[in-house]
Amino acid sequence: MFHGHMEPIFAFGAAEIPSFAKRNYWENPDGPRRRNILKIMRINYLALCIIALSAGAFLASRELALMPDERLHVYFFDVGQGDGALIVTPSGKQIVIDGGPAGGAMLRELAERMPFFDRTIDMLILSHPQLDHIFAFPEILRRYRVGRILMTGIRNDLPRYDEFLRLIKEQRIPIWIADPKKDIDLGDGIAIDVVWPEPALFGKKMKDVNNSSIMLRVINGTGAAVLFSGDAEEKEELAALASGADLSAAVLKAGHHGSKTSSGTGFLIAAHPSLAVISAGKNNQFGHPHAAVLNRMKALGIPIRVTGSEGTIEVAR
C-alpha cells in the first residue's frame, strides 16, 4: 500500500508551459493536429466531388437511355394485382393506360421510365373505373401536367373515381369519350384504334363494370399493334368480334389479369398475337393467371409473359 504525498508525474511552472499549449493549433502552421484535420477535409471534399460526378454521370446516362429512339416502347408495369402501362412513342410522347391498384408501384414505375425533369404526360387512358386500374390516377394528376383523358365516362360509385373526376374538372383537362369510329392520330406514325365499346355507355351506371372496358390497339408505322383489353371478359370479347373490328395484334395485353372468364378461344384466334402479356400479382389470391387461359394460349402457340413472375415487361416495336 502506498503512503505519503504523491507528486504529479508532469509538473510545469508557468514559464515552462510548452508553446503548443499556449497557442491555438490553427495559429501553428506546422501543428500536427491542424495538418490531420486539413488532410481529412481534403479527403472529404474529394469524396464529395467523386460522389457528385458519379451521380451526374448516372443521371446523364439514365437520361440518354430514356431519349426517343424512333421506336414504339410499351412498358407493362409490375404493379401487383392490377393494370398499369406506359406507352412511349418514337418522338417521346407518353401515354399512360390505367393506374394500378392500391399499394402498387405505379408511381415509382412511372418515375423510373420518364426523364427526371419531365412532368408532362400527353394522355391518360382509363380502361374502366375499378380500384385496381385507377388508384394512382389522382396522384398522377397532382404530379404531372396531363394533356387529355380518354375514358368511357360510365358512372361508378367509387371514391377514388370521384376524386379523379373532381381533379379533371379543377384542372380543366379535356376528356375524350372512347368511340370505335374515331381513331386517335398521335402525329408521329402512331395511332390509337379504339375497338370497343360504343360511346353510348357514357353516363350510364353499369352492373358489370369489367365489360365496359376500353379495348384499343396502339399501332405503329409498320402496322404492328399492341392490343389492350382492360378487364374485358368473353361477353365483351364476343361483342367486339361481332362488330367486325380488326383485333389483330403483335402483342396482346390479356384481359382481366388472365382470369378464366377472359381470353376466349375465338378472341385469341382473331388477335393472333406473337406474345401475350398478363398483368397479375405474384401469388395473388385469385389464382391469376388461370390454368385454363394458359392452356388455351399454349394450344394456339402463343408465348406468355407474366409481370408477377418477371417484373415490368418492356416491348419495343
Total Cβ atoms within 10 A of residue 140: 18
97 in any annotated domain: yes
CATH number of the domain bearing residue 258: 3.60.15.10
Domain co-membership, 170 together with 301: yes
Of the residues 5, 40, 61, the one at which a domain ends: 61
**What are the tens digits of pLDDT across the range 97-123?**
999 999 879 999 999 999 888 899 999
* pLDDT at residue number 16: 47
Contact 106, 84 (CB under 8 A): yes
45 shares its domain with 141: no
Determine which helix (DSSP H) or strand (DSSP E) holds 90, and give its type and residue range.
Answer: none
What is the arithmetic mean of pLDDT over 183-195?
Answer: 94
Whole-number average pLDDT of the chain: 87
Residues 80 and 125 reside in one and the same domain: yes
Q: How many contiguous H segments (helices) and E segments (strands) does the chain have?
A: 10, 16
Checking if the pLDDT of 20 tops 60, the result is no
Residue range(s) defining the domain that contains residue 56: 19-61
Q: Are residues 31 and 132 in the same domain?
A: no
**Co-location of 38 and 163 in the same domain:** no
Residues 297 and 311 grouped into a single domain = yes
Would you say residue 13 has pLDDT above 50?
no
Where is the domain boundary, 61, 87, 116? Answer: 61
Q: Are residues 160 and 184 in the same domain?
A: yes
The answer to whether residues 214 and 262 belong to one domain is yes
| Same structural domain, 252 and 136 | yes
- 6 belongs to a structural domain: no
Spatial CA neighbour of 138 closest among 170, 94, 109:
170
- Between these two residues, 48 and 254, which has the higher pLDDT value? 254
In this structure, is residue 131 part of a structural domain? yes
Asked if 154 and 211 touch (Cβ cutoff 8 Å), the reply is: no
Q: Does the structure show a pLDDT above 50 at 6?
A: no
Is residue 144 domain-shared with residue 234, that is, in the same domain? yes
Length of the chain: 317
Q: Above pLDDT 70, what percent of the chain? A: 83
Same domain, 147 and 31: no
Whether 2 maps to a domain, the answer reads no
* Res 125 pLDDT > 50: yes
What mean pLDDT is predicted for residues 196-213?
A: 93
pTM (predicted TM-score): 0.80
Q: Above 70 in pLDDT, residue 271?
A: yes
Name the phi and psi angles at 122, rounded to 5: -70, -35
Q: Is residue 4 in some structural domain?
A: no
Beta bridge partners of 188: none
Q: How far is residue 114's CA from residue 182's CA, in Å, rounded to a whole number?
A: 28
Domain count, the chain: 2
The pLDDT, as a whole number, for residue 230 is 97
Q: Tell me if 14 is assigned to some domain.
A: no
**Average pLDDT for residues 119-148, to the nearest whole number?**
97
- Both 34 and 90 in a single domain? no
Residue 261 in domain: yes
Mean pLDDT of 257-267: 97
- Specify if 135 maps to a domain: yes
